[in-house]
Structures are given as structure tokens and as C-alpha cells.
Amino acid sequence: MSRKIIDIDKLPADTQSDIIDSLADVVPELSGMSHEEVRQNLIGLAEPPPVILTTVNPVKMKAQFGSNRATSKAAIEKLKNLLLRGINLDPILISHGKFLDGGHRVMAYFEAGFDTMPAVDIGHLIKMDWGKWLAGEKVVFKLN
């Protein structure tokens, strides 16, 4: 499994948006903010927060994703066809190795028979001191 620490600003816009939505769902300090307000506190900053770009196994992610979530067979087929044409998909989101978001992409990589797929681990962003971050104070990121 490869692992690279990059600034959140270096991710595709759709992945940034997925991160914003996921954080707003689980971080109490962000729950009352609009998507744009959360974006302004994460993206385009002088010192943007780091994220961990990694690879994961689609079989393991499919097992975590489970069958209890609704997925569109047409969307999965479209994404799978992109993969088979050599077009990479945006990374899924994980937290310390656990699936968070990107079920259609997981299923597409799984059905296309890939051994690995890209993922962004945001577990350290979920656990960080958001009170300090929102107050403009320095936050030490625990990237283990």
C-alpha cells in the first residue's frame, strides 16, 4: 500500500467536496456550517491541512461498504467502463482504513477486477481539534 501526504488543495475538486460533506456530517463544530463555510475553513489557505493519499483493496472496501447502502447499477457500470478504458476515478474516502464515502467507485473497481484503488484517509481531520483550527490557532496533525 502506497502512502503520500499532500495538501488538501492538491486533490480534485470533487474529492475536496466529498471531504467537506463527510466532515460536516461527523464533526460537531462543522454541523451548523454551510458547504461553502466549511470549504473556506479548509481549502485555499496559506497552510492547508494535509491528507493522506493511499491505496486500498476494493475487496476489503466492498466488505466494509456492505450491501445495505443503495447503489445505482447504471452508475457502477459507467464508472467500471471508464476504468476499463484506462481512466482513473477520484479517490474514495476512508478514516484510518475504514470506508467512509465512494461506494459506487468501490463497486466499479471491484467489478473491473482491480487489486488496488486510490483513497484519501481523513481520519486525522475528523479527530483534530476543530475548536483551535476554527479559532485560527496552530493544530498539530497526527498522521499515523
99, β-bridge pairs: 94
User: pTM for the full model?
Assistant: 0.92
Residue 66 has pLDDT above 80, yes or no: no
Residue 115 buriedness (CB in 10 A; 0-12 / 13-18 / 19+): exposed
Residue 65 has pLDDT above 60, yes or no: yes
Rounded-to-integer distance, Cα 29 and Cα 129, Å: 10
What is the residue-wise DSSP string for 52-74? EEEEE-HHHHHHHH-SSS---HH
Mean pLDDT (whole number) for 129-143: 91
79-97 confidence digits (pLDDT tens): 999 999 999 999 999 999 9
Residue 135, pLDDT score: 94
Residue 9, pLDDT score: 95
For the chain, the domains span: 3-134
46-57 confidence digits (pLDDT tens): 889 999 999 999
Helices (H), the chain: 13-26, 35-40, 58-65, 73-84, 103-111, 123-127, 130-134
For helices 103-111 and 58-65, give the axis angle rounded to 10 degrees: 130
111-128 confidence digits (pLDDT tens): 999 999 999 999 999 999
Per the prediction, the chain carries an average pLDDT of 92
**The residue to which cell 475548536 is assigned:** 131
Q: What single DSSP character describes residue 30? A: G
